[in-house]
Amino acid sequence: MSKILVTGGTGYIGSHTVVELLNAGHEAVIIDNLSNSEAAVLDGIEQITGKRPPFYQEDVRNRTAVQGIFTDHPDISAVIHFAAFKAVGESVMKPLAYYGNNLDSTINLLECMLAANVPFFVFSSSCTVYGQPDELPVSESAPIKQAESPYGNTKQMCEDILRNVAAATELQAISLRYFNPVGAHESALIGELPRGVPNNLMPFITQTAIGKREKLTVFGDDYNTPDGSGVRDYIHVVDLAKAHVKACERLIAGDNKKSIEFFNLGTGRGYSVLEVIRAFERVNGVKLNYVIGPRRAGDIEKVYADTSLSNNELGWKAELGLDEMVASAWKWEQRLGS
Ligand code: NAD
Ligand code: UD1
């Protein structure tokens, strides 16, 4: 049993990860400034697990606050760093806010944890670092492409920071490159909290289905894919969360092969936008109002993960399929709407 500090632990992926850490017998300590989440998420975590982790409503950039957590909890073994701004479009409009938050929080956290002799660090990265890969499925050794947005660039820069710090210090890091996280906990007690008009496909689908949006636009049906719509590797957020538990356990057990490792987190299976829509309609018995529109600027055609490294090394494999993803996303939307 280990105690893990989770930054951004009341957020979408963080809250599901806290649940999986607690389910696996670990303890969690959460720091989140609630810039994109609510304290009520702690109630959901408690209802699911029967435990309420210590919570610090603080900014990860605040050195005194982070140092204070390591002082309060000298038995913290590892850190999972979710806290970041994540809206791609907003990052284009507010690059300094994104570089400031995503880089400064990472640097401050690394300094504090190394000072506290906590060397194990799990980082939230993204498949966006690959851009449109030359080969599919894309493996971790694929070249990193020029970032499409300041947000994507912060992920690449943080990976570089981790590489440099791991080479120079005791840091042992795992960077997890998420494909497209969707869905919610089966209890519908935690999920993704929408902010404004969603950019991502799944929340747009569920909000259209419940009547918050008039219609969904499919961004292009002339891609070089089986039905012409874009293909992505959607991954259930609960599967994603479980991979973080494995990553912490690997570091703490000393099973990592290098001081920094990178793992793709996807299912290895790509689905098109139209396939997701059809699955949503079939599984939930709901008709979706959608139209075909033009391509969205900056979108890639298709991407899906080579998961062999995470399967073999992390001992992790996504277990939930598209049906569970669309069912849980719908259940969560209905709960939000009620
Ligand atoms: P989220 O916004 O739901 O969660 C992030 C949490 O961090 C929020 O609760 C927010 O309040 C908090 N936060 C932000 N800046 C903070 C700061 N300076 N100090 C303290 N708390 C702060 O986002 P999410 O979807 O759970 O994403 C978690 C991580 O995964 C992020 O780093 C994100 O970039 C990355 N990621 C997400 C996706 C995705 O599609 N959701 C894909 C790839 C990578
Ligand atoms: C987005 C992010 C990317 C991040 C990834 C995973 C952008 C530009 N990119 O990409 O940085 O790594 O999520 O979180 O935001 N679609 C529609 N109609 C919609 C919304 C989406 O057809 O209303 C299509 C898109 O064209 C795409 C697919 O659905 O083919 C998935 O879109 P989205 O959920 O936004 O994810 P990504 O484009 O993969």
**DSSP class per residue in 237-266:** HHHHHHHHHHHHHHHHHT--SSSEEEEEES
Atom number, ligand 1, closest to the C-alpha of residue 105? 18
Q: 19-68 pLDDT, tens per residue?
A: 999 999 999 999 999 999 999 999 999 999 999 999 999 999 999 999 99
Q: How far is CA 141 from CA 5, 133, 256, 264, 309, in A?
A: 29, 11, 17, 10, 10
338 token code pair: 């009620």
3-state secondary structure (DSSP) of residue 230: coil
Provide the pLDDT for residue 194: 82
Spatial separation of the C-alpha atoms in residues 135 and 139, rounded to whole Å: 9
Q: Could you read off the pLDDT of 140-154 as tens digits, one per residue? A: 999 999 998 999 999
Tell whether pTM > 0.85: yes
Mean pLDDT of 280-292: 98
**Of the ligands numbered here, which is closest to the C-alpha atom of 88?**
2
Ligand 1: distance of its center to the CA of 319 in Å?
23
Protein residue with least CA distance to atom 20, ligand 2: 201
Structural domains in the chain?
3-184+234-267+305-319 (3.40.50.720)
Using CB distances shorter than 6 Å, the residues near ligand 1 are 8, 10-14, 31-37, 59-61, 82-84, 86, 101, 105, 124, 126, 178, 181
Instruction: Please answer whether residues 99 and 150 qualify as being in contact, where contact means their C-beta atoms are separated by less than 8 angstroms.
Output: yes
Ligand nearest to the CA of 150: 2
Give the 3-state secondary structure of 120-154.
EEEEEEEHHHHCCCCCCCECCCCCCCCCCCHHHHH
Q: Which residues line ligand 2 (CB under 6 A)?
A: 88, 126-128, 152, 180, 199-201, 204, 216-219, 230, 232, 273, 296, 298-299
Q: What 3-state DSSP class applies to 17?
A: helix
Residues 99-116 have pLDDT tens digits of 999 999 999 999 999 999
What tens digit of pLDDT does each residue of 182-234 get?
999 999 999 999 889 999 999 999 999 999 999 999 999 999 999 999 999 99
Measured CA to CA, the distance from residue 262 to residue 156 in angstroms comes to 12
Q: Which residue has the tokens 């747009």?
A: 204
CA distances from 84 to 40, 100, 124, 125 (A): 19, 10, 9, 11
56 counts as catalytic: no
3-class DSSP assignment, residue 287: coil
pLDDT score for 195: 85
Question: How far apart are alpha carbons 74 and 76 in whole angstroms?
Answer: 6
Query: Which of 286, 188, 282 lies closest to 238, judged by CA?
Result: 188
Given 12, 56, 151, 223, the catalytic residue = 151
What pLDDT is stored for residue 337 in this prediction?
Answer: 82
d(CA 146, CA 129): 8
pLDDT of res. 313: 98
- C-alpha to C-alpha distance for 105 and 98, rounded to whole angstroms: 11
Q: What pLDDT band is residue 338 in, cutting at 50, 70 and 90?
A: low
Residues in the chain: 338
- In a 3-state reduction of DSSP, which class is residue 302? strand
